[in-house]
């Protein structure tokens, strides 16, 4: 009987630890992804038609100089027919996904960088030809 209880408790503990990860994936609002989970940006030719989607970076401003490894991000997103969120790339590496129009990029190393935002569909794999770029420096 004691073994059954311990097994049940261990199973519940494992499930409880796994639940926030899956819940976080389904609810991305305000999600800041850690820099560890980087991916290369798909080729520009792989972008699908925008179908009314667009994105415009408000901050950081072009050639801004920022202190620290956190980069505040603000943008205007027009979803169009298929846009759901934006993928944020720094120097071609994915650094985060954002559903809202504000967020923070974490773990940006010191130096000159190029930020590119791409409107993506809800499947997380399809990016639309709705992009914006800006260069900035972190110290």
Q: What is the mean pLDDT of each run of 10 residues along the chain (139 residues)?
A: 49 43 37 51 80 97 97 97 97 96 97 98 96 98
DSSP-derived secondary structure letter, 2: H
Kindly report whether the global pTM for this prediction surpasses the value 0.75. no
Sheet holding 71-78, edge to edge: 54-59, 71-78, 102-105
Q: How long is the chain? A: 139
Tokens of 17: 């630890």
Instruction: From 81, 60, 64, 62, select the one nearest 128 (Cα to Cα).
Output: 81
Specify the pLDDT at position 96.
Answer: 95
Domains, the chain, with CATH or none: 29-138 (2.60.40.10)
Radius of gyration of the chain from its Cα atoms, rounded to whole angstroms = 18
Specify the pLDDT at position 15.
Answer: 44
């Amino acid at each position: 009987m004691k073994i059954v209880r311990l097994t049940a408790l261990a199973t519940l503990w494992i499930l409880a630890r796994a639940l926030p990860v899956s819940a976080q994936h389904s609810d991305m609002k305000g999600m800041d992804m850690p820099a560890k989970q980087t991916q290369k940006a798909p080729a520009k030719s792989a972008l699908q038609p925008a179908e009314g989607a667009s994105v415009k970076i408000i901050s950081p401003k072009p050639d801004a100089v920022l202190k620290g490894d956190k980069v505040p991000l603000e943008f205007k997103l027009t979803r169009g027919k298929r846009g759901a969120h934006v993928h944020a790339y720094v120097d071609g590496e994915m650094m985060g996904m954002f559903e809202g129009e504000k967020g923070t990029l974490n773990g940006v190393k010191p130096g000159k960088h190029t930020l590119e935002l791409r409107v993506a569909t809800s499947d997380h794999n399809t990016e639309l030809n709705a992009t914006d770029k800006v260069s900035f420096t972190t110290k």
